[in-house]
Chains A and B, each alone.
Chain A
């Protein structure tokens, strides 16, 4: 086996920053291996990717020490365009990467740059479109594809250059579960082809299949090893801000032998050592609609058709949200989750049917009055941040609603305290990290003290530590009386935190009930192309009530044979 990549004591500091983004990185990677790199937000994972094809130091300037050799070539001495013959890089944001007007031209772009003959380009388009499973969509416009298809196209367009090394920077972060699986199965096939593959990912499940796992923290590679070595070291993972595999956590917490990386391994171990008995999942909470308090939101036969394209996105939704609930809305992209949520705060008006907020149709409210009752946090905080200081940003809504400066000041301080950003008042929001910006966006909605808070993908793009912080904050908001609704792709977030789960498919409600009950029906979830997290799958198999590690530990310990 020859060496594909050799990194020799690499340190890099971006021009505008003082702290090095990468510090004394060492590494040797052989041809044909599959490396997964994990680490907290800002650990230097993306920077590492950029050093492999020369974007660092040729595109991003800064202080560069050490060497990176790819196939014996020193990366820093070559232009990025030259390196593209050896190293392919797929970025996280597939929207920004795709810019051609149809799929085949997107695929042709790289080979065109390499000045290949047209027949060869044609050959490669065919080969790699089939490889990523998009051969039928050859004439489609990239903007009309689903998230998973877009990311597959982005990967295909890089593969068309036939690089020996493929680097993917968080290729699944912005995808729904189905898109995630599509992309991961392609990663598997790339590996079979014998190309070297380096993937940055948050989810420890991806790392299970790697040859080698690298852990990064604060610009340093703190551990390199086989998946079992790394994934069984729960404290190490936590110190790097990575979610440990819940099954491993569970086994270690109860003191069961072995560390299962998959559900099958866990079931094998349980059966082999006779660790626990099957039980029947009992359901104690009565799923009745009586005595739940005041209805906050109510949809009656709600239908919505997008006016420009006459597409029916919501096909008759009947729904009641009671005061103080904590709800997850699940479903694939395009199932109508966001469209439904935008009805809750009146951004969209039903085509037919009614949407009631506190018993009054949203059509009878002004935007301002609704903004006081229902707060909506958009997925990307950068779509709303515009102020010079955090204080102004958080106080914006209140100012718009005509509150006096004293109240504004008081509420801003309170809201920042809730999201854990005390003392940030005078900071410039654009310079904060993604997690902090997300918190600023939440605070700016909280400051109004709406009774209902809707969050679109509150944990996407955050690392595990920030995901936990965000969800704990929402949990305490819910405890203090707010009704919280989250739209999410993250199955473990929904399972661990919400009380009620609504599953949407093709604009209809497929399932609506207590979260434990909805998650118990894996066949139903599969119809919406969803799959519960590994822990919940094991819990379903065991028939336990618990949806979190702690709950299951308690339950299983109490009933140990």
Chain B
């Protein structure tokens, strides 16, 4: 079963240097923090969506659609209760919802979903090894870069094992569909323990295999996919920095795009 996020499509975004993509991702994160007005925020979300289309990463958005929708719905419902706005809309006992706080909630939902979306584009277009190599070239020590990318790499492997474990326990009569919260936590144990043991065993074998193939974290190594900065990389970075400066001016200089002041 293929549950990896990388999509081997070969678009121009795939061909960008991993360093460009890492920095761009960070810039987009900051851009997402610029506004808390849903209208302005949705413009940014739309921009990220366009990048996703151009990177042919929509398949992954479809795969994770429930998480994305959940993020938006939850923030829209939850945030309004924790922020105060000027125009009251609805209140019940100590709970108040204002027009501004509701809009703020929508903006926060969009922001979270856009965060996830940007990360998703990154993972859909960047191989694990490219991420490692990019981090190494940016000065991250090899053991740390390797640990990070291996952790990312193992998530789908463990998810696959988890699915098998659940099937095995359901076959033995484990009922995951009903029961109180407390009994459901109890049902977690038959799933978690085998997965935990699987993970330990798997990583141990992986370590053996890596050492047997000459892996040693201290020594220098060749990068078979050596990232190279091209003109398009610099262009992308300059463009994103320019956008960031303009947006910061709109927010800080003109004071636009704010629904509730004093919040990010």
- Binary contact readout A53-92 vs B (1 if CB under 8 angstroms, 0 otherwise): 1010001000000000000000000011100110011010
Which residues from B are CB-within-8-Å of A385?
193-194, 197
- Please pick, from A101, A115, A345, the residue contacting B129 in the complex, using a CB distance under 8 A: A101
**What separation, in Å, do the CA atoms of A112 and B146 have in the docked complex?**
14
Known interface pairs A116-B222, A378-B168, A397-B173; A99-B153 also in contact (CB < 8 Å): yes
Which residues from A are CB-within-8-Å of B216?
79, 81, 113
Q: Check if A445 is an interface residue, CB within 8 A of chain B.
A: yes
- Binary contact readout B1-30 vs A (1 if CB under 8 angstroms, 0 otherwise): 110101010000000000000000000000
CB distance from A185 to the nearest CB of B (A): 23
- Please pick, from A53, A158, A371, the residue contacting B173 in the complex, using a CB distance under 8 A: A371
Which residues from A are CB-within-8-Å of B208?
50, 55, 59, 91
Which residues from A are CB-within-8-Å of B164?
378, 380, 383
Which residues from B are CB-within-8-Å of A444?
172
Q: Check if A34 is an interface residue, CB within 8 A of chain B.
A: no
Known interface pairs A108-B224, A114-B214, A396-B190; A97-B206 also in contact (CB < 8 Å): yes
> Quick check: A143 and B2 within 8 Å, CB to CB?
yes
> Quick check: A115 and B213 within 8 Å, CB to CB?
no
Which residues from A are CB-within-8-Å of B165?
383-384
Which residues from B are CB-within-8-Å of A378?
164, 167-168, 171
Within residues 204 to 249 of chain B, which ones have a CB less than 8 A from any CB in chain A? 205-209, 211-216, 219-226
Q: Check if B128 is an interface residue, CB within 8 A of chain A.
A: yes
Which residues from B are CB-within-8-Å of A158?
212-213
Which residues from A are CB-within-8-Å of B157?
95
> Quick check: A345 and B173 within 8 Å, CB to CB?
no
Within residues 485 to 507 of chain A, which ones have a CB less than 8 A from any CB in chain B? none
> Quick check: B226 and A118 within 8 Å, CB to CB?
yes
Within residues 171 to 220 of chain B, which ones have a CB less than 8 A from any CB in chain A? 171-175, 189-194, 197-198, 201-202, 205-209, 211-216, 219-220
CB distance from A450 to the nearest CB of B (A): 10
Q: Check if B127 is an interface residue, CB within 8 A of chain A.
A: yes
CB distance from B3 to the nearest CB of A (A): 8
- Please pick, from A110, A139, A161, A384, the residue contacting B172 in the complex, using a CB distance under 8 A: A384
Which residues from A are CB-within-8-Å of B150?
99
> Quick check: A141 and B2 within 8 Å, CB to CB?
yes
**What separation, in Å, do the CA atoms of A141 and B202 have in the docked complex?**
19
**What separation, in Å, do the CA atoms of A367 and B161 have in the docked complex?**
21
> Quick check: A118 and B212 within 8 Å, CB to CB?
no
Which residues from A are CB-within-8-Å of B54?
none
> Quick check: B4 and A101 within 8 Å, CB to CB?
yes
Which residues from B are CB-within-8-Å of A541?
none
> Quick check: B171 and A345 within 8 Å, CB to CB?
yes
- Please pick, from B167, B172, B175, B211, the residue contacting A445 in the complex, using a CB distance under 8 A: B172
Q: Check if A322 is an interface residue, CB within 8 A of chain B.
A: no
Q: Check if A561 is an interface residue, CB within 8 A of chain B.
A: no
**What separation, in Å, do the CA atoms of A445 and B2 have in the docked complex?**
30
Please tell me the size bucket of the interface on A.
Answer: 35 or more
Within residues 310 to 330 of chain A, which ones have a CB less than 8 A from any CB in chain B? none
> Quick check: B168 and A113 within 8 Å, CB to CB?
no
Closest to B171 in A: A376
Which residues from B are CB-within-8-Å of A131?
none
Within residues 127 to 174 of chain B, which ones have a CB less than 8 A from any CB in chain A? 127-129, 150, 153-154, 157, 161, 164-165, 167-174
Which residues from B are CB-within-8-Å of A117?
222
CB distance from B166 to the nearest CB of A (A): 9
> Quick check: A80 and B189 within 8 Å, CB to CB?
no
Closest to B213 in A: A110
> Quick check: A80 and B212 within 8 Å, CB to CB?
yes
> Quick check: A105 and B225 within 8 Å, CB to CB?
yes
**What separation, in Å, do the CA atoms of A85 and B219 have in the docked complex?**
15
> Quick check: A384 and B213 within 8 Å, CB to CB?
no
**What separation, in Å, do the CA atoms of A100 and B210 have in the docked complex?**
11
Known interface pairs A109-B213, A308-B1, A371-B173; A382-B197 also in contact (CB < 8 Å): yes
> Quick check: A367 and B212 within 8 Å, CB to CB?
no
> Quick check: B197 and A430 within 8 Å, CB to CB?
yes
Which residues from B are CB-within-8-Å of A308?
1
**What separation, in Å, do the CA atoms of A118 and B161 have in the docked complex?**
35
Which residues from A are CB-within-8-Å of B206?
96-97, 99
Which residues from B are CB-within-8-Å of A141?
2, 4, 6, 8
Q: Check if A253 is an interface residue, CB within 8 A of chain B.
A: no
> Quick check: A384 and B168 within 8 Å, CB to CB?
yes
CB distance from A340 to the nearest CB of B (A): 15
- Binary contact readout A125-139 vs B (1 if CB under 8 angstroms, 0 otherwise): 000000000000001
> Quick check: B214 and A384 within 8 Å, CB to CB?
no
**What separation, in Å, do the CA atoms of A108 and B192 have in the docked complex?**
35
Of listed B167, B209, B214, residue having the most chain A CB within 10 A? B214
Closest to B218 in A: A81
Q: Check if A15 is an interface residue, CB within 8 A of chain B.
A: no
Which residues from B are CB-within-8-Å of A345?
171
Which residues from A are CB-within-8-Å of B207?
59
> Quick check: A309 and B211 within 8 Å, CB to CB?
no
**What separation, in Å, do the CA atoms of A96 and B128 have in the docked complex?**
16
Which residues from A are CB-within-8-Å of B4?
101, 141, 143
CB distance from B2 to the nearest CB of A (A): 6
> Quick check: B172 and A371 within 8 Å, CB to CB?
yes
**What separation, in Å, do the CA atoms of A441 and B157 have in the docked complex?**
23
CB distance from A46 to the nearest CB of B (A): 10
Q: Check if A292 is an interface residue, CB within 8 A of chain B.
A: no
> Quick check: A55 and B212 within 8 Å, CB to CB?
yes
**What separation, in Å, do the CA atoms of A382 and B168 have in the docked complex?**
10
A–B complex contacts, Cβ < 8 Å, 6 sampled: A117-B222, A143-B1, A345-B171, A347-B170, A347-B171, A376-B168
Q: Which residues of A does B touch, CB under 8 Å?
A: 50, 53, 55, 59, 79-81, 84-85, 88-89, 91, 93, 95-97, 99-102, 104-105, 108-118, 121, 139, 141, 143-144, 157-158, 161, 308-309, 342, 345, 347, 367-368, 371-372, 375-376, 378, 380, 382-386, 396-397, 400-401, 430, 444-445, 448
Additional A-B contact list (5), CB under 8 Å, known A97-B205, A113-B216, A143-B2: A97-B209, A105-B224, A113-B215, A141-B4, A430-B197
